[in-house]
Amino acid sequence: MFETRGIPFILLDIACLILAGLPLAAFNLGKIKPYQRGFFCNDESISYPFHSSTVTSTVLYTMGFTLPICSMIIGECLSVYLNCVKSKSFCNSYVACIYKAIGTFLFGAAMSQSLTDIAKYSIGRLRPHFLDVCRPDWMQINCTGGAYIEDFVCNGDSTKVNEGRCSRSRIGHPCTNGCPALDGRVARKLYLQARMQAEWARLLRPTLQFFLIAASVYTGLSRVSDYKHHWSDVLAGLIQGAIVALLVVFCVSDFFKKKVEPQEAAEIPHTTLQETPTNGNHYENPN
């Protein structure tokens, strides 16, 4: 996918990246409102209070972007350096390897967030704290018999109300958040699996991978306990993030592709008829 064989290939990669993130840009930059879904008056699942996030957006962006990019830069530079030491004839460019690794990561992040926003804005599932941020005028709403209410006006902050209509989660923050949480951590886990193959990393590699997955699970659980998302939305986000990460790592990147080192052609020894013995005797001309 991300090749560095010339300017046309780089432009093609950039175009693919833009296309993958086009739905994300359209929904957020276009100020599109999510689907206006109604509610039941006796629905307790959307009657929870609004709480601030345990895992803030700053922490989530740092974990989702800064750490994987830095780890890939260090990992690719180290991998290229070791290849250069091992074989002088098999040495890739540092810039090319970093470009392909980070490009693959950004492509997966754009694709995953676009899928998330498509689901969020199309479904418009109400968050657990929706009624608290909406603050509808109950005097204008007829809740007789637990009716389904579609015609209502929210008196709360418009930004929080729009976010309250976007419960579909990929362990992200509000609708405007484009941070790759789980798929970024799964991609890092697989990246470590591909790059940390040394004997000394036998236990270090699974230890780092465990903490990456644990951080993802904790972030998702915190979204439930903070009443930001329903548990089913977080579970769907976990599955989506893992699937996208696996597809990108194994189908787009070359992390697990074996590099074939060029071999020098072996010299074939030239022999003459006189130098080749036949049953221990030299061939003699009968004439």
Residue 7, in any domain of the structure: no
pTM above 0.85, yes or no: no
Beta-bridge partners for 39: 149
Task: Give the domain range for residue 41.
Answer: 32-72+105-252
Total count of domains within the chain: 1
Among residues 59, 82, 79, the alpha carbon closest in space to that of 71 is found at 79
For 281, list phi and psi in degrees, rounded to 5: -120, 145
Residue 211 has pLDDT above 70, yes or no: yes
**Looking at residue 258, what is its pLDDT?**
63
Question: Which range has the worst mean pLDDT, 46-60, 150-164, 191-205, 220-234?
Answer: 191-205
Measure the CA angle with vertex 116, ends 38 and 155; round to 5°.
35
Residue 272, in any domain of the structure: no
Question: Which range has the worst mean pLDDT, 34-48, 126-140, 177-191, 219-233?
Answer: 177-191
230 is catalytic: no
How big is the chain by its Cα radius of gyration, in Å?
29
Residue 17, in any domain of the structure: no
3-state SS of the chain is: CCCCCCHHHHHHHHHHHHHHCHHHHHHHHCCCCCCCCCEECCCHHHCCCCCCCCCCHHHHHHHHHHHHHHHHHHHHHHHHHHHHHHCCCCCCCHHHHHHHHHHHHHHHHHHHHHHHHHHHHHHCCCCCCHHHHHCECHHHCCCCCCCEECCCCECCCHHHHHHHCCCCCCCCCCCCCCCCCHHHHHHHHHHHHHHCCCHHHCCHHHHHHHHHHHHHHHHHHHHHHCCCCCHHHHHHHHHHHHHHHHHHHHHHCCCCCCCCCCCCCCCCCCCCCCCCCECCECCCCCC
**Looking at residue 186, what is its pLDDT?**
63
Residue 273, in any domain of the structure: no
Q: Which of 229, 230, 270, 282 is catalytic?
A: 229
Residue 268, in any domain of the structure: no
Give me the chain's average pLDDT, please.
Answer: 76
Instruction: Please enumerate in sequence order all residues whose Cβ is within 8 A of that of 231, keeping only pairs 6 or more positions apart, or say none.
Output: 224
**Looking at residue 277, what is its pLDDT?**
52
**Looking at residue 127, what is its pLDDT?**
94
For 153, list phi and psi in degrees, rounded to 5: -120, 130
Residue 10, in any domain of the structure: no
Distance (Å, whole) CA 107 – CA 129: 32
| pLDDT tens-digit readout, 272-284 | 444 545 554 554 5
Residue 284, in any domain of the structure: no
229 is catalytic: yes
Residue 132, in any domain of the structure: yes
CB-based contact 40:149 (threshold 8 Å): yes
Q: Which of 51, 129, 173, 230 is catalytic?
A: 173
